Amino acid sequence: MAENPLFAPSSLPYQLPPFADIREEHYLPAFERGMAEQLAEVDAITGNAEPPTFDNTIAALERSGRLLQRTATAFFSVVASDSTDGVMEIEKRISPELTRHSDAIRLNRALWERIRRVTTEDPEEAWLLEKYRDDFVRAGADLSEEEQARLRELNEELSRLSTEFAQNLLKAANDSALVVEDAKALDGFDEARIASLERDGRYVLPLLNFTNQPGLAQLTDRDVRRRLYTLSVERAPQNFGLAVRMAGLRAERASLLGFPNHAAYRVADQTAKTVEAVEEMLGQLVGPAVRNARKEAEALAEQAGFEIEPWDWSFYAEKVRQARYDFDASAMRPYFELDRVFRDGIFHAATRLYGITFTERPDLRGYHEDVRVFEVFNEDGSALGLFALDPYARPGKRGGAWMNNLVDQSLLFGEKPVVLNNLNITKPAAGPTLLTYDEVTTAFHEFGHALHGLFSEVRFPRVSGTSVPRDFVEYPSQVNEMWATWPEVLANYARHHETGEPMPAELVEKMQAAEKFNQGFMTVEYLAATLLDWAWHKLAPGEEVDDAEAFEQKALEAAQIAFPVVRPRYRTNYFAHIFSGGYSAGYYSYIWSEVLDAESVEWFKENGGLKRENGDHFRRTLLSRGGSLDPLAAFRDFRGREPSIQPLLERRGLV
């Protein structure tokens, strides 16, 4: 394996992983060597005869595991975006090994003793030191030998189950796809969309992550909508059992670590801090959201002429929009061409706000031919990093949209960031890629995460970029959504893909007038998923669940969010965020972050909007700080005061 490209740092610009040279057989040897090297580095730290200092203990830990980090970054990027049967087998094998490796470090008593004895006067070092101490305590460093042995078993089993849950969902995206023999069944889709779905004489519509599939808003055949909806909510049924098992194991682990339940364990190191704080915020939203959704349901039933079912909601919501506001969302698609959205919209807004510029680098490759790489520069021409974009859906790619770092920024290593955005847009069989308005908003959102990574300017990888509490990480990305409809930005990119004509002003006005309609549905759908997550993770240790689907219904009724025509955005069986994606007892973070987002949008509006001084202030006080200080302190530095929920209530029409 001397030729294994993962063994040495990448020679590509910014240390972009050399995906073109990496083969599947390279991963396991690199993982094995990487874990062995890091354990040897930890042994060197604990065997150091010198008294523990920040540099020879904490900074030394930051410097450890470089090969393992390179390998894991490349591998799990492929797992999420371009998986194969071979990659999935490697994932099954390596995930529990990585869990054992992490426990071997976090439960190392000699290492923990050194960390406890470190002192420092430097504020950034002191913050990182406390993060490490908290990490080790939460990982079980203070438990007895017997308790640690049980903790290792729990962690390994949870790792295995999480991988199985994710792989079941990846297979279900295609195995549970809607298949029709006749293109007439897809009436409501345009010709280009139908052509993109053709497979060997049939038409295949794969499932996306969430309950309400986008096609439900366009498909005119009610029975086809029913079939699509049913396939969505009933996919991967084996995951119900996995979820029950995982929730029980997490409850036991929380108890072992001194918490009453997993929710209390997870929220303790977030900005919310307590279960009560989360429940107080959610409680303010449930009643108004359900009332709004009921009014919307009445309007939809009136439009339809019958009591609607869940698979009717999106279709008739569009009909009501057209009737009330003379607005047809599909009329916007010709104005949202993928390249123009990024070049003249997302990149343009970033240039206006922060002075950064983008140059495409076709000489740099990703893990798939669809990946495009851009070099990013500061206004003075200095290099900032790389931005990679993977826009299209395909078999082997998980649903949804996300950002991750391929290289973490850190002054410790002198490394600049390389960030990746993944979307799941249907690739056309021919011609331009036209986006829906929701897809445009998602693209702006994910680029907000990318900016958080690109603007990072911290010393240590542990607190780089988006390495902030889960209930804070969505905040900067949600702020970036505002520029999608900012008049100067929208006018620059929303142009007809054939004529180049700008989107008519009256269409923009109708869109903005129609935006608050269906907010009841959107808020209930989200809150139902949030409270379902919360119910699974407030289970007490030993509390048994015999029927996962019955548990779902009981949990929604107890939270007063049960509304038959609006199911949770994610049901248990496909709730990847909480059972395989790191958001367990954390799905509330989107609405928690939106409180900060709504406040920040108000600040931008009060201060003149798309201005360099505003962007510089946001970058300096918040985006560049990563997790190197208390995130709410960073928010106060930016906003000048504590956050209020009122702007969020007004935005969602809940006042």
Q: Tell me the catalytic residues.
A: 446
Query: Which residue type sits at 438?
Result: D
Tokens standing for residue 68: 């393992």
Q: What is the distance between the alpha carbons of residues 381 and 359, in angstroms, rounded to a whole number?
A: 12
Classify residue 458 by burial, with Cβ atoms within 10 Å: 0-12, 13-18, 19+. buried
Strands 418-425 and 383-392: parallel
**CA 632 to mean position of chain CA atoms:** 20
CA angle in degrees (0–180, nearest 5) for 393-397-401: 65
Backbone angle region of 488, left / alpha / beta, with phi > 0 → left and psi within -120 to 50 → alpha: alpha
Residues 519, 359: contact at Cβ < 8 Å? no
Angle between helix 24-46 and 109-117 (nearest 10): 60
Tokens standing for residue 200: 């060997």
* 504, HSE (Cβ side, Cα atoms, 13 Å): 6
Query: Which residue type sits at 331?
Result: A
- Phi/psi for 416 (5° steps) reads -95, 155
- Nearest to residue 359, comparing CAs of 386, 321, 399? 386
Residues 24, 87: contact at Cβ < 8 Å? yes
| Helices and strands counted in the chain (H then E) | 26, 8
Strands 357-360 and 372-377: antiparallel
